[in-house]
Structure 1
């Protein structure tokens, strides 16, 4: 095979890979079992005396497919490389435009920006669960807030080969120093991103799932002026210290799954913690395990419809 032909083939394959859309799915954040001889630093606390079992129903079943929201596509001009004919046939002359939805790495965290066709001034910051990436919650967020600008962020800690927001020691105990470091970095990232893209934090909802929701909770306790409104899905408190955070004016929705044996038991403690610092918290429990589904869309959409008007007044 000559070099021009090989180059054309590689170019075509790379464009095909870029065109391949991420499929929507029922989202499941399955933590890997902790190593048998994990050393736990003295400054951490494992809230469970007996390690709890992860949700076997969520992690043992094959992920259910769901229909993704259609993404706009536009024709592109393909450079004549000898493989253009094959490429056009493969992608039918169209690819998903990279534009602002392309992965960006100009700030402390990698992220993607999604602008709606009919923006209403609202924004939503998305923080994924363990082993996922910044695209994992986009489909869910689009259903919940179709007119909001989406800032989808990727956790920068890699542990056991998966992306996370801070290091884990067990499924329910975490590296406290790492939480502080990453929460500070995220607060700095958020300040830069909101200035760069003219995002109004008074009209921004933070949508976090599991590990991502836990980071949102930590940011609220350490940098209380950052988060005005948050939706915390399958979350728990992760800081072992108390802070003097004043969360008066902050609004929070927590959603736990009744069959989530590992994390649902911590949901009341999370709501109590946030309320004790002045936040207005609505705690909901749905018939689910640790995975996300249509019930989450319904609960979050209903809650947002009742709070959006209040956000716009502030």
Structure 2
């Protein structure tokens, strides 16, 4: 048996044996095995923003998580979503196999996953989840709005009250300023390393943040204005205090608030004013929703992204 065939056999077995949770789930779907197709759920993803205690803001309770994880271990990996087809082709050619993509990566300062589309168009979407979630939570959403983009899904490093976060909170609407700045700096450094490693063009990159993750994105924009050219901020609010001298003249931003989101929606105008006052081109949308994400978000973001991305490439 020649080396090319041996490599192909190893690659095929590895891809089938390793299963990765690639899609977001709602509480109602915690006990169901995820299908091979990404579906955006209408149920809330993060119903308790920034006030989570242990599992209260998590997408799935612990019992559901354990059952889902046990099932996922037996689920074949989605080869097209993770670039597995390319790996098999390299194996047949006798080339050295790279580390499987779609699996959790821990070589940089933040844990992350990479998802490659079947027909990449050169765009990238960086995903920053909400409180109590992880790097897989927005993959389903992103696959709907940007099916041909590379996805860089990142996990927040802060664990508070048992939940993944991007920075520490003090109250539901006030936050540890020192932690915000230190984590924003760490994320900026991570991003610079990731763009080199995966040959990501920041001029063709959209930052998609939800709740706590969106708040980190707008903080990174203020502190490191040259990094973010395009951002989608879902259920976001300004969290950085103090005077910051940032020129966002090259940035395009879409903010989407939920009309019945009693905690975050009142802060949406302040976020829009802050970004505009620093030169960003902001389109603000309010939809019939609470803090959770649903199909209306997909429609609004998809429509905006199709026009904004075209403008970004010019």
Q: Do both share a fold (TM > 0.5)?
A: yes
Residues 65-76 of structure 1 aligned to structure 2 (within 5 Å): 71-72=78-79
Change (3 A) 1:272 1:181: same
Q: Is 2:49–2:130's contact at 8 Å kept on the other side of the alignment?
A: no
Structure 2 residue ranges without an equivalent (≥5): 1-15, 24-33, 65-76, 86-98
**1:117/1:286 CA distance change after superposition, 3 Å:** same
**How much is the aligned-residue C-alpha RMSD, in angstroms?**
2.7
Change (3 A) 1:105 1:21: closer
1:151–1:17 Cα change, 3 Å: closer
Q: After the TM superposition, which residues 1-314 of structure 1 pair with which residues of structure 2 at under 5 Å, given as runs?
A: 18=19, 22=23, 23=34, 25=41, 26-29=43-46, 30-31=48-49, 33=51, 71-72=78-79, 99-313=100-314
Deviation at 1:17, TM superposition (A): 8.3
Inter-CA distance 21–246: structure 2 relative to 1 (3 Å threshold): closer
Which protein has the larger Cα radius of gyration, Structure 1 or Structure 2?
1
Q: TM (normalized to structure 2)?
A: 0.74
Q: How many residues align?
A: 249
Runs (4+) off by over 6 Å: none
**Aligned residue for 1:83?**
none
TM-score, L = length of structure 1: 0.74
SS of match in other structure, 2:292: coil
Which sections of structure 1, spanning at least 5 residues, go unmatched? Answer: 1-14, 36-53, 64-69, 76-97
Task: Report how far residue 21 of structure 1 moved.
Answer: 6.2
Aligned twin of 1:4: none
Q: 1:283 aligns to what SS in structure 2?
A: strand
DSSP 3-state at the match of 1:311: helix
Query: In 2, Cα distance between the equivalents of 1:281 and 1:262?
Result: 22
Q: Whole-Å Cα distance in 1 between the matches of residues 161 and 49 of structure 2? A: 10
